């Protein structure tokens, strides 16, 4: 476990220039590099949007995990109304930094006068014992405070420590399967992308050095822009970054709401990309389908069971010898795949296939031969081609830094899609994953295919401790024997001369970007769909994500909620876990409960392992019924979910949200990851325990309406135990919200052809509000229409907020929750023929025909 920090007092201080405050600092002193001298200010200057300072080592170098860098530059910049940038870099600028070409950041400096960003201010503080530190202040409170800890800045180790409240509410930092609220007393987040089957509290596929903190009812955020491996440690009232190189490039976000922080963060790293509407349907996959005919049968079985199916996915089974861009001529012949795709399209369904980055190193394999000719593969430190091992055997890895790599990849995808124009691409194994350590295929005969790694005993090589890229002096908490295990070796070289050590965590992001770019270049008008396993900051702008190789366990079911919520913090809202679990045998009960939750993941896909029992949703009667019920709710909510996703596109807001984001003043929801909100109006409360037939549902104060029978429940900031039969998931609508819906159907296209309904969930003050976003759901430059809805005292207004998209279907029904006594309806003062029914405390007005392309005032008389 990480070593705790000890408490020491700071007393001595000295005067420094403006904004460099002489203070007595009380706090922790000891980190891993507790005896390092820190830095002092050698020069200070105001800048148009902040200030800069030259820093010099304040004493003898400690060289604790590398070589101390004597001269640094600190830049503090008030960039936007909600964002502050503090960057500490080596004066020589020799340390590796992420190029804008890899992750283009918003570089605005829009705060005139350089005084604050949304109430955030920064000042330097100094103590004789620990040197200079900085404080980020919101009002009088320091939300990030390094005073009292020495800054350690070495060529292979950076240590920055900030004070936290003892019981801090921290969300983010990963990707690591864990509970949503990070334990502030004992959490180590290791950021090193790794192919691992979702082990609890270990690093897995992505790296995201961003967090939100809830303090005093308000949120703020911080992001470290650095691609190196690192540990981020929460313990003993502090957060400590231990980074294997680069610079200390911090961004701070003022909030004050969680949605504000999401907005501010994604404005920096990239807004989530638009998705095609069909991506919100249910997807099915399995690793282990034996033929195109078996997939045909699966598709037919979903239809026969009356379970919606939007897209049929096929794993590496379709490939010839598991090689990209090929088809197994016996089990998955191209003609059979083309026929299946045409039949899917005729029914309004889609096809998605997997593509891995690893390319079989065989000169007779055309994609490899073309890539080698174009010099697009990663190389060893001696200049020879780096050869690892993945599914097709010994493989080369595309070097996304190589000048020709994007053109080569686009060419290979183009040839593949010319043969089979699938609807989306699933890019896997892109951490990048390799089954051996080092360039194990070097010198092997072309075409040799080794045994799969789990069938042979592969002793680990001795680690070269004298090579600091293979075995850096500080060992982050990556569970493998060395950083290079199961991935490209850290000494491998990219075309820009940079070692893999510095850019390992960027591989998945870069592949996602070139894949999306290739699809857009091929079909400039169409929205591409790319699903990536490995992610980094900014990946939401180019890809969606699933949470990788989970297991069919009740723990994984529960943790999936937290992981989906994590990716809302990370700016990747289109996310979901493999429904019913990937590894291991599910049960009918677990699978039923999982689809009841998974139906409300933003990305909903059933997927499992070839070694497990098949788990398509029609396999068990109880699961099939649970699926029909839960998916009927999802498909009805598609207009609402699509609207929530557009808020992600325009503002970075998560689609799936924890209760704490909407109710930050309620302490009991700070660690609630047993429920989730879709948008701000739909509360989903799944069963997460085997054998349970009830569920404890936490209801924040206010009125909540049951989705199914519309009964009202008065929330009192407390949990209520509700019945939860095996085939039922509790879903509630938040009072004060208006939810647009359509009739659920077997595909999203069919559902979109139905008329609209508004569910008006009236609050205690007889008001409600909502919005609806509409476009063609398919093209990048589609006209759009934003509608606003407002209800007050028996009048409903439809406001045209923006856009010119022509909505083809009318508003045909109003479901008024908490409203009785309606006898007639008038639209813009004219009586409207309709049917009015009451049930319990609610009124249903149907047989309407209201054009929602124009403003409307609907009077309920």
Q: Which residues are catalytic?
A: 428, 431, 549
Q: Contact at 8 Å (CB) between 28 and 237?
A: yes
* Sign of the CA dihedral with 707 first, then 709, 713, and 717 last: negative
815 bridge partner residues: 759, 844
Write out the two tokens for 382.
């001696």
Among 107, 205, 218, 213, residue whose Cα is nearest residue 165: 213
At residue 229, the 3 state secondary structure works out as coil
A 10 A CB-CB count for 708 gives: 13
Rounded distance between C-alpha atoms, residue 751 and residue 22, angstroms: 65
Q: Where are the beta strands (DSSP E) in 277-370?
A: 282-284, 311-314, 350-355, 359-360
Rounded distance between C-alpha atoms, residue 284 and residue 305, angstroms: 14
A 10 A CB-CB count for 63 gives: 14
Write out the two tokens for 631.
């998916």
Q: Where are the beta strands (DSSP E) in 197-247?
A: 208-215, 218-224, 230-235, 238-243
Rounded distance between C-alpha atoms, residue 21 and residue 492, angstroms: 45
Q: Contact at 8 Å (CB) between 537 and 565?
A: no
Rounded distance between C-alpha atoms, residue 298 and residue 300, angstroms: 5
Strand 718-723 relative to strand 181-182, pairing: unpaired
* Sign of the CA dihedral with 659 first, then 663, 665, and 666 last: negative
Rounded distance between C-alpha atoms, residue 118 and residue 530, angstroms: 35
SS (H, E, C) 49-114: CEEEEEEEECCCCCCCCCCECCEEEEEEEEEECCEEEEEEEECCCCCCCCCCCCCCCCCCCCCHHH
**For residue 626, which phi and psi values (nearest 5 degrees)?**
-60, -40
What DSSP designation does 558 have?
H
Rounded distance between C-alpha atoms, residue 207 and residue 228, angstroms: 10
Rounded distance between C-alpha atoms, residue 198 and residue 792, angstroms: 48
Strand 767-775 relative to strand 718-723, pairing: unpaired
Peptide bond into 110 cis (omega under 30): no
Q: At what angle do helices 405-419 and 507-522 cross, to 10 degrees?
A: 50
Q: Contact at 8 Å (CB) between 421 and 519?
A: no
What DSSP designation does 353 have?
E
To which H or E segment does residue 344 belong?
helix 334-346
Residue spans of alpha helices (H) in 549-689: 554-569, 588-598, 621-636, 638-651, 659-662
* Sign of the CA dihedral with 233 first, then 238, 239, and 245 last: negative
Write out the two tokens for 291.
């033929």
Residue spans of alpha helices (H) in 460-609: 500-503, 507-522, 554-569, 588-598
């Amino acid at each position: 476990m990480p070593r705790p920090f000890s408490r020491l007092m700071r007393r001595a201080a000295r005067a420094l220039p403006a904004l460099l405050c002489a203070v007595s600092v009380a706090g922790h002193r000891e980190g891993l590099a507790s005896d390092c001298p820190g830095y002092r200010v050698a020069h200070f200057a105001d800048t148009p949007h902040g200030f800069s300072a030259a820093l010099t080592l304040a004493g003898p170098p400690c060289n604790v995990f590398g070589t101390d860098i004597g001269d640094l530059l600190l830049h503090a910049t008030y960039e936007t109304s909600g964002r502050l940038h503090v960057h500490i870099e080596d004066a020589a600028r020799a340390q590796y930094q992420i190029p804008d070409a890899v992750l283009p950041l918003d570089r605005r400096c829009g705060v005139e006068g350089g005084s604050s960003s949304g109430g955030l201010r920064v000042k330097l503080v100094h103590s004789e014992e620990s040197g200079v530190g900085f404080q980020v202040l919101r009002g009088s409170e320091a939300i990030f405070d390094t005073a009292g800890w020495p800054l350690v800045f070495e060529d292979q180790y950076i240590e920055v420590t900030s004070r936290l409240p003892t019981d801090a509410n921290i969300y983010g930092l990963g990707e690591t399967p864990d509970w949503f609220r990070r334990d502030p007393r004992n959490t180590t987040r290791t950021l090193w992308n790794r192919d691992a089957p979702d082990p609890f509290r270990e690093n897995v596929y992505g790296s995201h050095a961003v967090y939100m903190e809830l303090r005093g009812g308000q949120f703020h955020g911080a992001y470290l822009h650095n691609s190196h491996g690192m540990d981020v440690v929460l313990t003993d009232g502090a957060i400590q970054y231990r980074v294997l190189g680069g610079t200390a490039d911090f961004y701070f976000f003022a909030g004050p709401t969680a949605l504000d922080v999401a907005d501010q963060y994604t404005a920096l790293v990239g807004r989530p990309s638009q998705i095609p509407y069909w991506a919100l349907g249910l997807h099915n996959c399995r690793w282990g389908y034996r033929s195109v005919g078996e997939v045909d049968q699966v598709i037919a079985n979903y239809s026969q069971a009356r379970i919606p199916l939007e897209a049929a996915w096929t794993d590496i089974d379709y490939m010839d010898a598991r090689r990209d861009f090929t088809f197994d001529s016996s089990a998955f012949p191209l003609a059979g795949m083309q026929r299946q795709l045409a039949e899917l399209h005729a029914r309004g369904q889609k096809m998605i296939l997997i593509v891995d980055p690893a390319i079989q190193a065989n000169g007779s394999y055309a994609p490899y031969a073309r890539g080698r000719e174009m010099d697009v593969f990663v190389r060893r430190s001696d200049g020879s081609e780096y050869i690892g091992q993945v599914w097709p055997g010994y493989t080369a890895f595309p070097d996304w830094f190589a000048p020709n790599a994007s053109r080569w990849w686009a060419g290979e995808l183009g040839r593949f899609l010319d043969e089979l124009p699938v609807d989306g691409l699933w890019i896997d194994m892109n951490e990048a994953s390799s089954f051996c350590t080092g360039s194990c295929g070097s010198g092997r005969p072309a075409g040799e295919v080794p045994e799969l790694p789990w069938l042979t005993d592969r002793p680990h090589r001795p680690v070269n401790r004298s090579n600091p890229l293979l075995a850096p002096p500080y060992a982050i908490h990556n569970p493998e024997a060395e950083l290079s295990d199961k991935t490209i070796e850290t000494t491998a070289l990219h075309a820009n001369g940079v070692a893999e050590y510095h850019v390992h965590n960027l591989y998945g992001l870069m592949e996602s970007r070139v894949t999306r770019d290739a699809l857009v270049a091929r079909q400039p008008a169409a929205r591409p769909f790319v699903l990536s396993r490995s992610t980094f900051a900014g990946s939401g702008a180019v890809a969606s994500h699933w949470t990788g190789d989970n297991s069919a366990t009740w723990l994984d079911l529960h943790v999936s909620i937290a992981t989906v919520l994590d990716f809302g913090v990370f700016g990747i809202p289109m996310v979901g876990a493999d429904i019913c679990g990937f590894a291991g045998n599910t049960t009918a009960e677990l699978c039923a409960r999982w689809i009841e939750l998974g139906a409300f993941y933003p990305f909903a896909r059933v997927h499992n392992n070839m070694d497990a029992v098949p788990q398509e949703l029609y396999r068990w009667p109880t699961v099939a019924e649970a699926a029909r019920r839960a998916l009927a709710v999802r498909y009805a909510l598609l207009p609402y979910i699509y609207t929530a996703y557009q808020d992600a596109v325009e503002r970075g807001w998560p689609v799936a949200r924890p209760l704490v984001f909407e109710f930050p003043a309620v302490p009991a929801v700070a660690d609630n990851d047993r429920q989730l909100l879709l948008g701000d109006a739909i509360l989903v409360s799944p069963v997460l325990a085997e054998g349970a037939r009830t569920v404890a549902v936490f209801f924040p104060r206010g009125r909540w309406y049951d989705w199914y029978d519309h009964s009202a429940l008065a929330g009192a900031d407390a949990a209520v135990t509700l019945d939860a039969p095996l085939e039922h998931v509790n879903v509630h609508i938040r009072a004060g919200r208006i939810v647009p819906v359509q009739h659920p159907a077997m595909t999203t296209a069919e559902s979109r052809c139905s008329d609209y309904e508004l569910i008006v969930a009236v609050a205690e003050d007889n008001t409600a509000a909502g919005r609806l976003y509409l476009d063609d759901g398919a093209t990048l430059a589609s006209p759009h229409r934003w509608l606003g809805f407002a209800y007050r005292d028996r009048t409903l207004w439809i406001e045209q907020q923006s856009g010119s998209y022509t909505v083809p279907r009318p508003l045909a029904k109003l479901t008024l929750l908490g409203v009785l006594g309606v006898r007639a309806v008038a639209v813009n003062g004219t009586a409207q023929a309709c049917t009015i029914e009451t049930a319990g405390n609610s009124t249903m007005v149907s047989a309407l025909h209201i054009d929602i392309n124009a403003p409307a005032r609907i009077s309920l008389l």
